[in-house]
């Protein structure tokens, strides 16, 4: 469906890795905030279409687009589909991420490391590049907002055996600050949310409820986060309510 030619331009939100967990929560909350939403996913088509159905049931507009955003060509195709179906992106939540296998650093293989860095780091370059081309006032856009979803693992190192994940999330922090300085003058705000441990599927291979309970006991609030709590912070940073918040890294970690 092509966006209508008349009337105000739609606000369009792209959420990477949006089929489940934090990404799905961001997509649903974004739709409630009035965005037309692109629900990006890699393999789980059923989960992504459930998110789209949830949004449409509330009267919102959404599409599901399969794309491996760790690959530059796939990220570019994602944004072309969004252009055609929803209109140019005005907000981007870079949420796609993988933990990788729990592996001591001396045993990490190149293929596993490359995958973690592609999804958790390179995808930000590819997706932000596409978004900037559309948002930047230097390219004829009207500005926009980007939120990168990092992790407090960048600050404390994360779980033993997940050094690649922690390192990749450190790169998210640095990239956020660098990009904010680069594109702020072009009308684009860039910020980062660093979630603490959150009740999502990514925790299942790491120990599931057992590890969640153990981590909860180390958190001043005495629990882990729900995906919706992280999504609320992302949508605030994307909104005009955060109009002077730029280059910030917001910990949403229950004080951990």
Which of the residues are catalytic? 165
Q: What is the Cα–Cα distance from 130 to 113, expressed in whole angstroms? A: 25
Q: What is the Cα–Cα distance from 204 to 128, expressed in whole angstroms? A: 29
Supply the Cα-derived Rg of the chain in whole angstroms.
17
Residues 91/12, Cβ–Cβ less than 8 Å = yes
Residues 84/77, Cβ–Cβ less than 8 Å = no
Residues 120/172, Cβ–Cβ less than 8 Å = yes
Structure tokens at 101: 């296998």
Q: What number of H helices and E strands is found in the chain?
A: 9, 7
Question: Locate tokens 């709590």: which residue?
Answer: 229
The alpha carbon of 153 is separated from its chain's Cα centroid by a whole number of angstroms, namely 16
Helix (H, G, I), strand (E, B) or coil at 248: coil
Q: Which residues contact 152 (CB under 8 A, 6 or more apart)?
A: 194, 195, 196, 251, 253, 256
Structure tokens at 154: 């960048």
Q: What is the Cα–Cα distance from 48 to 37, expressed in whole angstroms? A: 12
């Amino acid at each position: 469906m092509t966006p209508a030619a008349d009337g105000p331009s739609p606000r369009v939100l792209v959420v990477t890795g949006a089929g489940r967990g934090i990404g799905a929560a961001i997509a649903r909350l974004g739709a409630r905030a009035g965005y037309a939403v692109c629900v990006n996913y890699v393999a789980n088509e059923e989960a992504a279409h459930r998110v789209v159905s949830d949004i449409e049931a509330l009267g919102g507009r959404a599409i599901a687009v399969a794309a491996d955003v760790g690959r530059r060509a796939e990220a570019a195709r994602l944004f072309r589909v969004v252009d055609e179906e929803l209109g140019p992106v005005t907000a981007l939540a870079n949420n796609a991420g993988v933990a990788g296998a729990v592996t001591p650093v001396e045993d990490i293989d190149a293929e596993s490391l490359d995958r973690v860095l592609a999804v958790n780091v390179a995808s930000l370059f590819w997706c932000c590049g596409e978004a900037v081309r559309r948002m930047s006032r230097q390219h004829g856009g009207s500005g926009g907002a980007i939120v990168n979803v990092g992790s407090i693992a960048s600050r404390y190192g994360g779980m033993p055996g997940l050094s690649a994940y922690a390192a990749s999330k450190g790169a998210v922090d640095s990239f956020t600050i660098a990009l904010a300085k680069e594109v702020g003058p072009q009308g684009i705000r860039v910020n980062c949310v660093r979630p603490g441990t959150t009740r999502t599927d990514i925790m299942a291979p790491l120990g599931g409820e057992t590890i969640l309970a153990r981590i909860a006991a180390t958190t001043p609030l005495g629990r882990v986060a729900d995906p919706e709590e992280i999504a609320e912070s992302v949508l605030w940073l994307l909104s005009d309510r955060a109009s002077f918040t730029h280059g910030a890294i917001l910990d949403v970690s229950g004080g951990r």
